[in-house]
Amino acid sequence: MENIEMRKAMFKFGKDEKKCSGCRICEMACVLYNKKECNPKKAFIKISGNFPEPGGYNIKILKGCTLCGECTRICPIGALFEKKNPEEQK
Amino acid sequence: MNGYGGKILAVNLTNGSTPFVILDPEVAKGWIGGRGFASAFLYYAIEKGTAPFSPENAVVMASGPLSGTFVPAAGKVHFATKSPLTGGYGDSNMGGHIAAEMKYAGFDAIIIIGKSKRPCYLFIQDDEVQIREAKHLWGRGAIETEKLLKEELGQDFQIAVIGPAGEKKVSFACISHDFGRQAGRCGIGAVLGSKNLKAIAVKGTKGIKIADFDEMVRQGKKMFSWCQEQPFLKIFQRCGTPVVTEMVNQWGSLPINNFKTGHSDQAKNLHAETMRKEVVIHDKACFACPMACGKYSRAKTEKFDVYVEGPEYETIALCGSNCGIFDIKEVAYANYLCDELGIDTISGGGAVAFAIECFEKGIITKEDTDGLELKFGDIQTFEYLIKKIALKDDSLGKLLAKGVKAASRKLGKGSKDFAIQVKGLEWSGYESRDAMAMLLSYLTSDNGAHHSRAWAITKDIELGRSLVDGKAEIDIYLQHIRPMFDMLGVCRFTWVELGIEPETYPQILKAVTGNDYALDDLLKASERVWTLNRAFWFREIKDFGRKYDMPPARFYKEPVPTGPTAGKMPTLETINRLLDDYYKLRGWDENGKPTKEKLIELNLEFLIPDLY
């Protein structure tokens, strides 16, 4: 954890990297909402792949995350989600 | 310029120059982008009669106005060239993330001409464009090359590469990207190889200017939400394109053993659920795509252990059933071999199947194969042949590397009857002797025997398979609407698989670009591109015409022997009737050439001197 926002984000939002398909819609949703720009390079969330072996993706929440939740609402595959009960927050 | 990168990059590998021009708004309005740019720029960029492997041939790579924006599946990039496989218009598109990256760097299209003296790759980081040394990458596999370049440049770079087959100028070598996306068809990878260009690496940080930002966000959210609500989304996410394997086999349209027949009881071993269980590790999506139809797989047996994206349905059909291989792990391995070598799995599978049938008939013998018996259903045969083809290290490899049409002309002995192709492009995954719309789609596709321009087989099933009336009209409609998505830079599956309304696209296109289009305007632009591509064939091939639209004799001389379509086959008269209807509706003459009147109607009168 690099800063307080990231810790808060990890507390409020959940991620399941095994489900991530690498579409990067979350990056786009983030930057559209927070920067009013069509430029995923400026997003506060970053997806990176592990190819060719072993496959799969990493989801990293970056410094500056505003806890807006846009990424969880757009994720089409359930890799990012808002935690709803205390059990999930553990 | 709203919605566009705003620049066209022109790379001359002979003298190393990399100037760019500002995209003319009128060009953008007329040709839209993607496939429209690729076709139009290719037509202008090369002289009549240019040899495909000469430095003067061009490869055009183009994104669309929606690529990289907030639209579901906005990740398509289109390539075009004069094809070494067909000698005519060659194109192919792929997903992944490179179309968006080009836009973020400010480029809508890259036009590559010339030939580098040494192996090189194209480096683009926003406005910085360099032609860099690629000696350390030459000879390496496509997957390995992408991995090395990512390590060298950074994971943020999006990279398109060719494999050894492209370097060796195999006529159906592909372009690969994102560890599993391919612009596979027509041998565009071989043209890059002929130019000594191993890869294109792009990183863009500038973003895209949007005409009406809030409206794009509003409409984009609506589209993403709509996709989420479709019941078929979960199925397609789970299965990807192999969702159709079972259905196509039931229809009797799954190519088996070089299109001898269209159904096999063994096909259950290739079904999507089998694949999911046996090899798939996780889902893998292109840019901004909720469907995630890419399946990342690991195929592990005692003989091999490989990671590969796929297999897609087309790979299952051509490298699997069409080669008699009904083991999904073996198909995934065949997929891996093609991907690493840089070979189109459709043409590659077609060439292997053709060679095996030649062997069965004694046209190719053990003298040609190092003593190996070529057999359907044998992964060792597949591996032996695909490596021979990719490396062109003996006469058999060199022969097959030119594609089945050219190989059959050299081999003779009736082999052209079962060289399954149209215009020189190997036939993709639908046996069509009892599917007249699908058959006509293959005959008239503007790059050769490819399914994607008009996946009409569902209409055959719906309306009557042997029916001829009305099929030309269906194909023409599909040939306009499906390539429309290729012009916009978005994947058509949102429409094909989820059923999104096509009318949605002009609305969001207006929000992104500010340009006001009706759906009919986009379809008219699509017709212009289709007609331009037809003109390209006539310009480049002296005797081009109806005879180039004919299928191999297997399709009208050999009734389907087994399965649900047993006994079915069109007559030559029926095939000509389909073409007659098609040409008439298109405004082409009886030899399939666009009439002067049609060219004038489409504002393509500049083509008249080339055609008349």
**Each residue's pLDDT tens digit, B471-513:** 999 999 999 999 999 999 999 999 999 999 999 999 999 999 9
Phi and psi torsions of B97, nearest 5°:
-130, 5
pLDDT score recorded for residue A12: 80
User: Looking at this protein, which amino acid is placed at residue B465?
Assistant: R
User: Looking at this protein, which amino acid is placed at residue B378?
Assistant: D
Above 0.85 for ipTM, yes or no?
yes
Reported in sequence order, the residue ranges of B127-216 that DSSP labels E, i.e. its strands, are 128-133, 158-161, 175-177, 181-183, 197-203
Chain A residues touching B156 at Cβ < 8 A = 41
User: Looking at this protein, which amino acid is placed at residue B462?
Assistant: E
The residues of B whose Cβ lies within 8 A of any Cβ of A are 68-70, 97, 100, 104, 143, 147, 155-156, 178-179, 204-210, 213, 216-217, 221, 224, 227-228, 233, 237, 281-290, 292, 294, 296, 298, 307
A–B CB contacts, 8 A cutoff, strictly below: 93
Give CATH for domain B231-426.
1.10.569.10
Please tell me the number of Cα atoms within 13 Å of B480 on its side-chain side.
Answer: 18
Q: Along the 90 residues of chain A, how does pLDDT read in single tens digits?
A: 456 666 666 678 899 999 999 999 999 999 999 999 999 999 999 999 999 999 999 999 999 999 999 999 999 999 999 887 645 544
Q: Does A10 touch chain B (CB under 8 A)?
A: no
- Residue B210 has its nearest CB partner, among A38, A48, A74, at A38
CA of B289 vs chain A CAs: smallest distance (Å):
6
Chain A residues touching B221 at Cβ < 8 A = 74
Using the beta-carbon criterion (under 8 Å), do A24 and B179 form an inter-chain contact?
Answer: no
Helices B379-391, B345-360: crossing angle, 10 deg rounding: 110
Using the beta-carbon criterion (under 8 Å), do B155 and A74 form an inter-chain contact?
Answer: no
Domain map of chain B by residue range?
A: 7-203, 231-426, 436-498+518-611
Chain B residues touching A62 at Cβ < 8 A = none
Chain B residues touching A32 at Cβ < 8 A = 70, 217
Chain A residues touching B282 at Cβ < 8 A = 18-19, 21, 55-56
pLDDT score recorded for residue B438: 98
pLDDT in tens, A35-58: 999 999 999 999 999 999 999 999
Alpha-carbon span B280 to B274, nearest angstrom: 9
Using the beta-carbon criterion (under 8 Å), do B207 and A52 form an inter-chain contact?
Answer: no
- Residue B104 has its nearest CB partner, among A41, A52, A76, at A41
Q: Does A11 touch chain B (CB under 8 A)?
A: no
What burial class does residue B395 get, using C-beta atoms within 10 Å of its C-beta: 0-12 exposed, 13-18 middle, 19+ buried? exposed
Query: What's the topology of domain B7-203?
Result: Aldehyde Ferredoxin Oxidoreductase;  A, domain 1 (3.60.9)
pLDDT score recorded for residue A7: 65
The CA distances from residue B497 to B227, B241, B251, B317, B493, in Å, are 10, 10, 18, 19, 5
Q: Does A21 touch chain B (CB under 8 A)?
A: yes
- Residue B104 has its nearest CB partner, among A39, A49, A55, at A39
Using the beta-carbon criterion (under 8 Å), do B227 and A76 form an inter-chain contact?
Answer: yes
CA of A60 vs chain B CAs: smallest distance (Å):
14
Using the beta-carbon criterion (under 8 Å), do A76 and B224 form an inter-chain contact?
Answer: yes
CA of A45 vs chain B CAs: smallest distance (Å):
14
Using the beta-carbon criterion (under 8 Å), do A52 and B179 form an inter-chain contact?
Answer: yes
pLDDT score recorded for residue A90: 44
Using the beta-carbon criterion (under 8 Å), do B284 and A21 form an inter-chain contact?
Answer: yes
Interface test with B, best of A51, A60, A81 (most B CBs within 10 A): A51
Alpha carbon A90 to chain centroid distance?
A: 18
Alpha-carbon span B500 to B226, nearest angstrom: 8
Interface test with B, best of A20, A46, A75, A77 (most B CBs within 10 A): A77
What burial class does residue A44 get, using C-beta atoms within 10 Å of its C-beta: 0-12 exposed, 13-18 middle, 19+ buried? buried
Using the beta-carbon criterion (under 8 Å), do A39 and B208 form an inter-chain contact?
Answer: yes
Using only C-alpha atoms, chain A has a radius of gyration, in whole angstroms, of 13
Q: Does A78 touch chain B (CB under 8 A)?
A: no
CA of A84 vs chain B CAs: smallest distance (Å):
20
Alpha-carbon span B471 to B449, nearest angstrom: 17
Task: Count Cβ atoms below 10 Å from residue B545 Cβ, excluding itself.
Answer: 15
Using the beta-carbon criterion (under 8 Å), do A21 and B283 form an inter-chain contact?
Answer: yes
Using the beta-carbon criterion (under 8 Å), do A24 and B287 form an inter-chain contact?
Answer: yes
Using the beta-carbon criterion (under 8 Å), do B281 and A56 form an inter-chain contact?
Answer: yes
B21 sits in which H/E element: strand B20-22
Low-confidence ranges of chain B (pLDDT < 50): none
Chain B residues touching A39 at Cβ < 8 A = 104, 205-208
Alpha-carbon span B275 to B239, nearest angstrom: 8
Query: What's the topology of domain B436-498+518-611?
Result: 1.10.599
Task: Count Cβ atoms below 10 Å from residue B262 Cβ, excluding itself.
Answer: 28
Chain B residues touching A52 at Cβ < 8 A = 143, 147, 179, 307
Alpha-carbon span B191 to B194, nearest angstrom: 5
CA of B34 vs chain A CAs: smallest distance (Å):
19
